[in-house]
Amino acid sequence: MSPITLQSQVSIPSHVMHRDLDGENVILDMQSGKYFGLNAVGARMWALMVEHGQLAAVHQIMLAEYAVPAERLEADLLALVEKLASRGLVEVCAS
């Protein structure tokens, strides 16, 4: 797998379901039956990934919404995507 960067594009595989539960997100891998939970910030990242796909767009929108240094947000976003990709919950391709 190529390195994940802000130029990467993400998509949600058809075997992955997700639900928002009062600001938190629960992701279910229908193939394995395993759940993965996201806190409020992770849930916002997930929602923006679903809507936009492009990580650069997610990063820019979140910078406008949260008082956080750009480098910190980038590191957190890329770490989340890497964790989700390693579990087969998102597919990543270089853009």
The per-residue pLDDT for range 28-57, each reduced to its tens digit, is 999 999 889 999 899 999 999 999 999 999
- Is residue 22 predicted with pLDDT exceeding 80? no
* 69: its two tokens: 């240094």
Computed from CA positions of residues 59, 61, 67, 70, in that sequence, does the dihedral angle turn out positive or negative? positive
Of all residues in the chain, the percent with pLDDT exceeding 70 is 97
Run of H or E residues at 58: helix 55-65
pTM of the model: 0.90
Residue 86 near residue 34, CB atoms below 8 Å: no
Domains and CATH numbers, the chain: 9-91 (3.90.930.60)
